[in-house]
């Protein structure tokens, strides 16, 4: 999905909601285990209930990889089931170089045809560049995260700027606003404002809303641009609202409420 198509979906649905499919077999409703593929049955129901309110789904590959071959099968079926007009993210945080990076790009853009994949930039340009060679696909590069450990490296001084600022500026020069996004944590409005000033036109994938303490209003007020320019990810706050047989219905209600909040800014 290219930038123009993504922006069109945002404006049509008046939403920047990204639903995270962090499907944990220990958390999904127990009645689903009577099916042959509980992960897929859960995801299918969540997608059916939320697809009218979301513009993106983020599949955290760790939850699927942990299940071995069956998990990869569930991942593939889930990806196939997502409507083609909804942006897809492989949250895999790959970060290697050379032909290894090329094979990771093949994995998530060809074998499993996601629109985008999250990438760790620690190894430099040759760890990101292979993901920028596919027309219509995106690398979503870790920029500033909201976990406590982000202070260990990202917030350290690097010459006259902080390390995360150097990373954002440098990586932005490797691609363009149609193939590079950045992961920007949602919990501090001053940082959201500052990063939006640094990168006025790039899309941001913004985790941290809901269970991690961020809120929609803060993100929209401080990071949104004229194209929307953000994808606000919510995982637990949508998919695990209920553990009963009404789990999908309750997820749909939660997604609709998030979309309503976002629509006020679009």
pLDDT tens-place string over residues 104-125? 999 999 999 999 999 999 999 9
In which band, very low, low, confident or very high, does the pLDDT at 133 lie, cut at 50, 70 and 90? very high
Q: What is the pLDDT of residue 153?
A: 92
What domain range includes position 73?
3-263
Return d(Cα 34, Cα 148) in angstroms, integer: 39
Return d(Cα 123, Cα 112) in angstroms, integer: 24
Q: Total domain count for the chain?
A: 1
The CATH number linked to 128 is: 3.20.20.70
Q: What is the pLDDT of residue 109?
A: 98
Q: What is the pLDDT of residue 210?
A: 66
Q: What is the pLDDT of residue 208?
A: 78
Q: What is the pLDDT of residue 211?
A: 60
pLDDT at 228 over 70: yes
Q: Of 70, 77, 93, 189, which residue is the catalytic one?
A: 93
pLDDT tens-place string over residues 184-218? 986 778 899 999 999 999 999 999 786 666 789 99
Q: What is the pLDDT of residue 146?
A: 84
Averaged pLDDT of the chain: 95
* Known catalytic residue at 70: no
pLDDT tens-place string over residues 50-105? 999 999 999 999 999 999 999 999 999 999 999 999 999 999 999 999 999 999 99
* Percent share of the chain, pLDDT over 90: 92
Q: What is the pLDDT of residue 213?
A: 63
């Amino acid at each position: 999905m290219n930038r123009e198509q993504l922006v069109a979906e945002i404006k049509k649905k008046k939403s920047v909601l990204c639903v995270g499919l962090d499907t944990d077999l220990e958390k999904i409703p127990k009645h689903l285990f009577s099916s042959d593929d509980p992960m897929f049955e859960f995801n299918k129901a969540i997608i059916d209930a939320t697809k009218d309110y979301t513009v993106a789904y983020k599949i955290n590959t760790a939850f699927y990889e942990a299940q071995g071959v069956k998990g990869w099968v569930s991942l593939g079926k889930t990806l196939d089931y997502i409507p083609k007009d909804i942006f897809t993210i492989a949250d895999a945080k790959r970060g290697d170089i050379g032909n290894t990076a090329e094979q990771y790009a093949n994995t998530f853009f060809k074998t499993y045809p996601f629109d985008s994949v999250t990438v760790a930039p620690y190894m430099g340009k040759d760890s990101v560049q292979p993901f920028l060679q596919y027309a219509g696909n995106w690398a979503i590069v870790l920029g500033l995260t909201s976990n406590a450990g982000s202070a260990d490296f990202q917030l350290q001084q690097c010459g006259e700027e902080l390390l995360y600022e150097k990373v954002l500026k440098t990586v932005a020069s490797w691609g363009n606003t149609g193939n590079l996004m950045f992961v920007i944590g949602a919990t501090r409005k001053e940082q959201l404002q500052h990063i939006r000033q640094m990168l006025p036109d790039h899309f941001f994938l913004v985790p941290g809303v809901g269970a991690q303490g961020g809120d929609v209003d803060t993100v929209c007020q401080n990071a949104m641009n004229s194209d929307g320019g953000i994808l606000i990810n919510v995982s637990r706050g949508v998919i695990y609202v209920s553990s009963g047989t009404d789990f999908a219905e309750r997820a749909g209600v939660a997604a609709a409420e998030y979309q309503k909040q976002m629509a006020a800014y679009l």
